Amino acid sequence: MNDLLPFLPEQLNQVFDGIKYFMPEIYLSALFLLILVTDLLFGKTSGWLCKTVACVGLLLVVFKDLDQFKLIQTDPHLFFSHMLLLHKTSWLFKLMIDVLGIPLLLYFGWDDDLKSHKKGLSDLYSISIAAVFGMHLMVMSVNLLSIYLSVEMLSIASYLMVAYRAGNGLSSEAGLKYVLFGAASSAIMLYGISLLYGFGGTLDLIGGNLIPGLMHVNPLAVTLALTLVLAGIGFKLSFVPMHFWVPDIYQGAPSPVAAFLSTVTKIAAFGLLINFLIPFISTTSTPWTAFDFQLFLSIVGIITMIAGNFAATLQNNIKRMLAYSSIGHTGFALMAIVTFTTQGISALTFYLLAYALANIGAWMLASYFSNTAQAENIDDYKGLGFKYPLAGVCFVIILISLTGLPITAGFYGKFVVFSSVYAVYQSGHNIWLLLLMITGAVTTVVSLFYYIKVPLNLFLRKTDRTPGFAPSNSFLLTSIAIITLLIVLLGVFPDILIK
């Protein structure tokens, strides 16, 4: 113990110096405790109060994110003993997660199945804030230990969210499956991390001797270790073959939880993937050749786009269709990653924002039609476009954006991704980049076949079914309309966000 005393002042100074880069996370920690105390003080009647505290608190976190902008104007900042890294991409991803988290928190109280649960929603808001905290850590982690801890923090919160409706058989089944699959993927990733630590002698991805250490190890062993870690990250991204859990979990989970998992969680996972790749793709004196990340991610992206989009064409349940659609979008987003350029990362950022907005809107509409007309399957949507014209029109626009057609944010998002990949292809004529672009174009056409089934049933098909229509939720419909407007606005004026 006495041997460590001389190092304590230096360690404490590093902690204090890093606090200014960690202020949004400190606010999230305080917000989590505040929601817990509010729930304890006011009991089951505290749902609306916990929602208010969570949304206002997350809005304050957004302002703290904006305050950090001046900290990223120079060089990226490593802090907390090289555990975390704050740079422009991680800052943007944190900002997107927090901004998108506010409508998602509001959405929890607008889903009838979730709202009617006897436990209330107070616990769900605290769990969601804990998940956001874990996502913040994910997009900043550059140490193998902090990567694992942040993933586990998000995973535990996600398990609780999926199984929140404990009395519902489908939700309980989804929660159990998610825990089992998640535990297996965590074990796989942890084994890969232990191998990397054994080979490299350090946990630091940046600033350590990991890469030089790995270069002296058998390439097959290094390939195995990296593949295991990427499999763990791929579980959160839901790329093939780590996608098998998505349809059942998304169908069994409450719609707001599925929206949460398919948007902000995916943004955090992409941020983590970028951080993990940085030391391997950065220019060094000795080029990294033991594992071809571009080849690996290109093959995974191609297979993921094909599997997700073609499987979605076979679905009739709206939640399963959106689940497979989410897998397909993951494959498309990987196109931007494999460019390994700043243009590609910029394109990925815009694409993820456009996708997240449209996906949240689609899940909100799934809840809206489930609440009002008990419509769970696409066939149940027949004729509902005339009964609910505003919701029907919004659904059409949102699905147009998810497909990637003008004049929506989704179109511009796919355009900038294709542009970034083509720019790299021109310089090197890599056959895998060409195959990625071809697959992306073909699967975009394929997506039309399953997305178009929704407007086809809404407006062009009639039904003899006479459901007992429930009153529509004006707050939910207003949020859907605002999201639809933002999608069109970003499609017409993308320069608002891309300079």
Q: Mean pLDDT by 10-residue block, N- to C-terminus, for the chain (499 residues)?
A: 59 69 92 91 79 94 90 78 88 95 92 79 91 95 93 93 79 86 93 92 82 85 93 91 89 92 95 91 64 91 95 93 95 93 92 95 93 87 88 94 92 94 89 94 94 91 65 85 95 77
**357 and 447 assigned to the same domain:** yes
Res 361: pLDDT = 95
Q: Is residue 5 part of a domain?
A: no
Query: What is the C-alpha separation between 484 and 491, in angstroms, rounded?
Result: 11
User: Of all helices (H) and strands (E), which one includes residue 157?
Assistant: helix 144-162
Q: Is residue 3 part of a domain?
A: no
Instruction: Answer whether 19's CB lies under 8 Å from 95's CB.
Output: no
Q: Is residue 345 part of a domain?
A: yes
The residue behind tokens 């509902």 is 384
- Tokens at residue 32, please? 């989590």
**3-state SS assignment for residue 356:** helix
The one-letter code for the residue type at 338 is V
Res 1: pLDDT = 52
Res 493: pLDDT = 87
User: Phi first, then psi: what are they for 58, rounded to 5°?
Assistant: -65, -30
Q: Is residue 10 part of a domain?
A: no
Q: Which of 257, 279, 301 is the last residue of a domain?
A: 279
Query: What is the C-alpha separation between 260 and 256, in angstroms, rounded?
Result: 6
Q: Is residue 454 part of a domain?
A: yes
- Which residues constitute the domain of residue 213? 20-279
**296 and 361 assigned to the same domain:** yes
Res 465: pLDDT = 61
Query: What is the C-alpha separation between 454 and 380, in angstroms, rounded?
Result: 10
Q: Which of 244, 279, 314 is the last residue of a domain?
A: 279
User: Phi first, then psi: what are they for 95, rounded to 5°?
Assistant: -65, -45
Instruction: Answer whether 142's CB lies under 8 Å from 204's CB.
Output: yes
Q: Which of 251, 279, 307 is the last residue of a domain?
A: 279
Instruction: Give the Å distances, CA to CA, from 61 to 81, 96, 270.
Output: 24, 12, 21
Closest to 93 in 3D by CA, of 264, 297, 337: 264
Distance from the Cα of residue 128 to its chain's centroid: 14
Res 317: pLDDT = 92
**127 and 45 assigned to the same domain:** yes
- Tokens at residue 162, please? 């999926």
**30 and 168 assigned to the same domain:** yes
- Strands (DSSP E) found in 33-191: 77-79, 84-86
Instruction: Give the Å distances, CA to CA, from 209 to 11, 212, 216, 280.
Output: 21, 6, 11, 12
**204 and 238 assigned to the same domain:** yes
Res 264: pLDDT = 95
**164 and 262 assigned to the same domain:** yes
- Tokens at residue 216, please? 């002296």
Q: Is residue 6 part of a domain?
A: no
Query: What is the C-alpha separation between 305 and 311, in angstroms, rounded?
Result: 10
Instruction: Answer whether 372's CB lies under 8 Å from 388's CB.
Output: yes
**443 and 474 assigned to the same domain:** yes
- Tokens at residue 87, please? 């740079």
**267 and 302 assigned to the same domain:** no
Instruction: Answer whether 350's CB lies under 8 Å from 413's CB.
Output: yes
Res 171: pLDDT = 77
Res 7: pLDDT = 56
**187 and 56 assigned to the same domain:** yes
Instruction: Answer whether 71's CB lies under 8 Å from 20's CB.
Output: yes
Number of domains, the chain:
2
**225 and 171 assigned to the same domain:** yes
**59 and 26 assigned to the same domain:** yes
User: pTM of whole model > 0.85?
Assistant: yes
Q: Is residue 15 part of a domain?
A: no
The one-letter code for the residue type at 386 is F
The one-letter code for the residue type at 308 is G
Q: Is residue 1 part of a domain?
A: no
Res 64: pLDDT = 92
**257 and 307 assigned to the same domain:** no
Res 466: pLDDT = 59
